[in-house]
Amino acid sequence: MNVFIAVIGESFNDNQATEDENDILALKKKDIKAFQNTWAKYNPMGELYMRTIRLPDFLRELPPPLGYQGIRIEESKLNKIIFCLNIRDHLGRVYYPEVMWTIFHSIAGMNDEKVLNCEQIANILKIVKNKYKGLGKKVNLDSLCGNKYYRKELTAIKYIQAMKILTKWRLFK
């Protein structure tokens, strides 16, 4: 996993170095499109929610660097990645902007003050708040990016694992 993260980081740094320093988010334009196209395959009617149980398959089909299309990844490793993403579950469904921001944050990160305070991020956050009312008024980058640890709330990996346990139990019964 560390090698995989290092390869993604190196590729991100190489791409970022070639971009204009003022256009911090230029790298993500093609990645956003790939994310939207993959989401559309799983939600052909344009739904903003996807069944949580489909999240692992979604990540397997999402092209790198955001996903694992064409990369053999064990189920246990993918489950650890989903656990680390800390995506909130909404009654068996995951919400489009939360999934998108969390995955983008896992690749690009928000530790860089220049990125965190840039005008583009502020504008995007305003648009996201207006467009996706389900996020609530108090949404911030930490909550969108899975930085908030949901101790009492259900996360995607908790739901996925619970459904696997329930399925095994029903087969056993």
Q: How many CA atoms lie within 13 A of 45 on its CB side?
A: 3
The number of domains in the chain is 1
Task: State which H helix or E strand residue 51 sits in.
Answer: strand 49-51
Length of the chain: 173
Distances (CA, A) of 5 to 67, 108, 118: 12, 11, 25
| Structural domain containing residue 52 | 2-172
Average pLDDT over every residue of 94-112: 78
The CA distances from residue 80 to 25, 28, 71, 157, in Å, are: 27, 24, 16, 8
pTM here is 0.66
Report d(CA 21, CA 158) in Å as an integer. Answer: 40
- Rounded distance between C-alpha atoms, residue 125 and residue 121, angstroms: 6
CA end-to-end distance (rounded Å), the chain: 36
pLDDT tens, residue by residue, 53-77: 999 999 999 998 889 999 999 999 9
As a whole number, mean pLDDT of residues 21-46 equals 76
Q: What is the pLDDT of residues 13-25, one digit of tens each?
A: 554 444 444 444 4
Q: What CATH number is given to the structural domain containing 134?
A: 1.10.238.10
